[in-house]
């Protein structure tokens, strides 16, 4: 029962935040719709997305809302079924990258000394790893099928996506390390993990959420790009795999633009939702952005008046 007041406060403050910030509200609505599709894809897929049993190359109609592929598959069903993998990759990579960023960045700042030097060196090395050779290495690992390829993709994106967030969180934690309330907690004899988890992390919540959103956005775009060029399980139900097969079958030249355009539009919509929420939380954590947003709001009100 003691959790109910806390949950109520969190929900109330979240609703007030969404009502106050239009970018966050729009991003949340888009994500909610996509999460529902990802959770219950069978509700939105009128046909088997993998079935090659329909007339190839059909245009949009009442039976096939977006037409069919040159292989005889329903495009709308593929689009809805592909939502789950894209959303899962975004959430898992965002979660794992954020946890790694918090553990490495905040731990380095709090303990300082040799621990800070070693963890900062490790972070800097990951930050400067060349992307293109890494993608070539990824190609050797992502040729599996099913869950193996999915989890390999999540692992690789997490491995390459945590370092920037860790650098940001380390800088923020350094500014908090010598605050009076943290010094008081140490004087009471509290453990280091208690001080980090209970005293240091709550003031950094907005920055942590912003890092999660930026990592999720990075995962969506990178995963789709890797599948588009054939690095991964191209037989999976995903938007990147749709783009791969549309490219291989020259969808645009074959008069099937929706096969190529709709998965790209869905990737853009999901990325836009994360970007809108990320910008909203950046305003919460960055006073300079908050002042700019307030000035812009006052200017709009004055113009309307």
pLDDT at 1: 39
208-248: pLDDT as tens digits: 888 888 888 888 888 888 888 777 777 888 898 889 898 88
Residue (of 168, 157, 175, 161) closest to 207 by Cα position: 168
pLDDT at 11: 59
Q: What is the pTM of this model?
A: 0.80
Residue (of 146, 138, 153) closest to 235 by Cα position: 146
DSSP symbol at 42: G
CA dist 11 and 9 (Å) reads: 5
Give the chain's length: 305
**Residue 190 scores a pLDDT above 50:** yes
pLDDT at 145: 44
Both tokens of 194, joined, read 């208690």
- State the chain's mean pLDDT as an integer: 79
Cβ 144 vs Cβ 136: under 8 Å: no
Residue (of 91, 93, 95, 84) closest to 34 by Cα position: 84
Task: Name the 3-class secondary structure at 280.
Answer: helix
Q: What percent of the chain has pLDDT over 70?
A: 81
- Cα dihedral 20, 21, 27, 32, rounded to 10, equals -10
| Average pLDDT, integer, range 169-194 | 79
Q: What percent of the chain has pLDDT over 90?
A: 10
Higher pLDDT, 15 or 85: 85
pLDDT at 152: 79
What are phi and psi for residue 292, nearest 5 degrees? -65, -45
Both tokens of 98, joined, read 């954020």
Task: Name the 3-class secondary structure at 48.
Answer: coil
Task: Name the 3-class secondary structure at 229.
Answer: coil
What domains can be seen in the chain, in order of their start residue? 76-304 (1.10.3720.10)
pLDDT at 113: 84
113-143: pLDDT as tens digits: 888 889 888 888 888 877 667 766 766 665 5
Q: What's the start-to-end Cα distance of the chain, in Å? A: 48
Q: How many CB atoms lie under 10 A from the CB of residue 23?
A: 18
CA distances from 34 to 120, 166, 184, 224, 235 (A): 37, 28, 45, 16, 22
pLDDT at 265: 92
Partner residues linked to 268 by β-bridges: none
48-78: pLDDT as tens digits: 888 888 888 888 888 888 888 888 888 999 9
Banded pLDDT at 98 (limits 50, 70, 90): very high
Both tokens of 300, joined, read 């709009």
**Residue 264 scores a pLDDT above 80:** yes
Half-sphere exposure of 238 (CA within 13 A, CB side): 28
| Average pLDDT, integer, range 263-271 | 90
* DSSP string over 114-163: HHHHHHHHHHHHHHTS-HHHHHHHHHHHTT--THHHHHHHHHHHHHHHSH
Higher pLDDT, 148 or 272: 272
| Average pLDDT, integer, range 141-154 | 64
């Amino acid at each position: 029962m003691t959790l109910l007041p806390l949950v109520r406060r969190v929900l109330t403050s979240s609703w007030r935040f969404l009502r106050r910030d239009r970018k966050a509200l729009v991003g949340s609505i888009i994500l909610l719709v996509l999460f529902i599709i990802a959770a219950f894809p069978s509700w939105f897929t009128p046909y088997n997305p993998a079935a090659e049993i329909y007339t190839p190359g059909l245009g949009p109609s009442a039976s096939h809302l977006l037409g069919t592929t040159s292989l005889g598959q329903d495009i709308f069903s593929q689009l809805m079924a592909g939502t789950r993998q894209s959303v899962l990759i975004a959430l898992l990579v965002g979660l794992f990258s954020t946890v790694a960023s918090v553990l490495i960045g905040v731990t380095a700042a709090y303990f300082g000394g040799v621990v800070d030097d070693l963890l900062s060196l490790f972070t800097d090395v990951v930050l400067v790893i060349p992307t293109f050779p890494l993608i070539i290495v990824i190609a050797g690992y992502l040729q599996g099928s099913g869950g193996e390829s999915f989890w390999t993709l999540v692992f690789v994106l997490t491995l390459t996506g945590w370092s920037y967030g860790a650098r940001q969180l380390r800088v923020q934690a350094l500014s908090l390390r010598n605050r009076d309330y943290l010094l008081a907690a140490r004087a009471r004899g509290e453990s280091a993990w208690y001080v980090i988890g209970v005293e240091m992390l709550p003031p950094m919540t907005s920055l942590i959420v912003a890092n999660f959103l930026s990592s999720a956005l990075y995962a969506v775009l990178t995963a789709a790009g890797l599948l588009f060029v054939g690095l991964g399980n191209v037989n999976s139900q995903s938007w990147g795999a749709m783009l791969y097969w549309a490219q291989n079958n020259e969808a645009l030249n074959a008069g099937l633009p929706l096969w190529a355009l709709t998965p790209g539009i869905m990737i853009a919509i999901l990325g836009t939702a994360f970007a809108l929420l990320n910008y909203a939380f950046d305003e919460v954590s960055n006073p300079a952005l908050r002042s700019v947003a307030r000035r812009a709001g006052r200017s709009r009100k004055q113009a309307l008046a």
